[in-house]
Structures are given as C-alpha cells and as structure tokens.
Amino acid sequence: MATTVRLRRLAAELRQLRKIAELTREQVNEQTGINVATLYRIETARVRPQARTLTSLLDAYRVAEPKRSELRTLLKQAATRGWLHTIASDLPERYASYIEFESEAREVLNYECLFIPGLLQTERYARAAVTSTLPESSREDVESRVETRMRRQAALTKEQPLKLWAIVDEAAIRRVVGGREVMREQLDHLLEITELPNVHLQVIPFDAGGHPGMTGSFVVMHFGEAVGPDIVYIESHAGDIFLEEEADVARYNVASTHLRAGALSPKASASLVAAAAEAL
C-alpha cells in the first residue's frame, strides 16, 4: 500500500495524541487490545487503521469533538487515491507514494543534475529517459511510467496549480536524450511551459563551478500547514528515500537556497535554453 499524505498526517496525529495522553504502546494495548506491533505500524503510516480501531484509540486518548470527527474524516480521505489507483499496481510502491505526496504538495522544488525534471518532460523525452535508465524494463513497464509522468503534469495547470521551482545543471540541458529532434522538442517545450506563472526554471551554468547539487538530484515538497510537514525525496539505484526529519529537510532547504543563488535568473536561463535548442 502506497503511503498517502493524509495517512502520514493521521499517523502523526495519533502519535501526538498518545504522547499527550501519556500512554506507552504497551498501555494502549492493555486498554484496547490493539497489538503493540499493529499500533507501531499505524503510527508510522505503514497501515491504515480500520474505523473501529481508530475509535478505540480516540476513546483511549479521550479525544473529544470536533477533533474526533476531523480524524474520522482524515481516515476516509486516506483511502482516496485519485487517478493513481488505476495504474499504481504497475509502479514501485515508493514511487507511487511519491506521486501521492506530489499531488498534495503546495510547492515543489526539484533539482536535477542530469535530466529535465519529470513534470517538465515531453512524452518522447520521457520515453527515451525511462528506456535508457531502466534498460531491463519491459515495454509495458516503460509505457506505464511514461503515462504516469504525463498525467502528473496536470498538477501544473489545475485550478489551484502546483508551484514548481525547477533548478537544473546545464548538463541536463546539453545532454541529447533521445536524439537531436527529441531534445529540440524538449527544449522548445521548456520555453513554453515556463511561461506559466507557477513554473520557474533556473539553470546552473557550467562556468558556475562547484555547487551543492553535485552530490545528486533531490526534490523538496512543501505542504500546507493543515496537511503535514515537508518531505525530501531522493531517487537512486540503491532505492528511493524519503527524508522527513526536521534537520534533514532543513539541510536540503539550505542547499536549495544556495542552488537558487548560484543559478542564472529565470530570464537568463530561458536564453541559455533557447541557445541550446538553436544549436540542435
């Protein structure tokens, strides 16, 4: 089961309520009969509690209205997966979780050192990128990932659009993925999509020298206060990682600030992209 933002928030709320009630998991087990291991999984968002389990916990923690109704609603919402549920079975669990988080985010900062960010990719570029980075994938798996990537992009043009701040190393602009025609189309698309008021693109030029992003790509997702704390996402061949600890998120926010400061302005970045497209 992919973790949703609402399930993560529910887990955090239940952890906090147990601490306020000054109860250990063992004491909750004695009062409610809920297994300690199960309670741990609920509090770490690994499982979604049943309605009766939630009621037992709220009784044990002496939670009154309107908080009780708020958490019951949150539990119902945690089961809602939106469009993703139709293809989630074809995706790795942590990637499905990432998409759930992204769909609930208010703002995303995406730094990429070698690729155009997924939310800004054309279909042909995405297909070439997936095929080259996952050479053992079947055609069906590749198409599933490409379809998912294209559907994610609707977040940029919905009624309350996602705010995207994309920072890329010049290498991502210069690397010809999929051939010259595909790359030219991709760069032209970048110039078009970044005209949206909620999409900002900055390029770190080669002559900027070393910078904090040289250790690898990352995504910082910011949520509204009512949803939950920020998350950092890192994708690698060793596995996808979510960082939620305040110190970790703060470290990547600092790196993001340095990257924005060291990159070209959005206007100068557009000029670099246009020159790269012309060269193709």
State residue 1's pLDDT score.
Answer: 43
pLDDT tens-place string over residues 224-266: 765 667 889 998 776 778 888 889 999 999 999 999 999 999 9
pLDDT bin (cut points 50, 70, 90) of residue 90 is low
Domain's final residue, options 80, 100, 128: 80
Give CA torsion, residues 151, 153, 154, 158, to 10 deg: 160
Sheet containing strand 163-169, edge to edge, reads 199-204, 163-169, 107-112, 218-222, 231-234, 241-243
CATH number where 96 lies: 3.30.870
Joined together, the tokens standing for residue 174 give: 């210069």
User: Are 153 and 162 in contact, with CB atoms under 8 Å apart?
Assistant: no
- In sequence order, what E strands does 22-181 have? 107-112, 163-169
Number of domains into which the chain is organized = 2
Domain's final residue, options 80, 105, 138: 80
The closest of 88, 124, 95, 84 to 236, measured between CA atoms, is 95
Domain that holds residue 72: 5-80
Same domain, 37 and 174: no
Domain's final residue, options 55, 80, 105: 80
Same domain, 170 and 46: no
Grouping H, G, I as helix, E, B as strand and the rest as coil, residue 267 is: helix
pLDDT tens-place string over residues 13-22: 899 899 999 9
Same domain, 215 and 257: yes
State residue 126's pLDDT score.
Answer: 97
The closest of 173, 215, 211, 179 to 191, measured between CA atoms, is 173
Same domain, 51 and 124: no
Say what the pTM is.
0.76
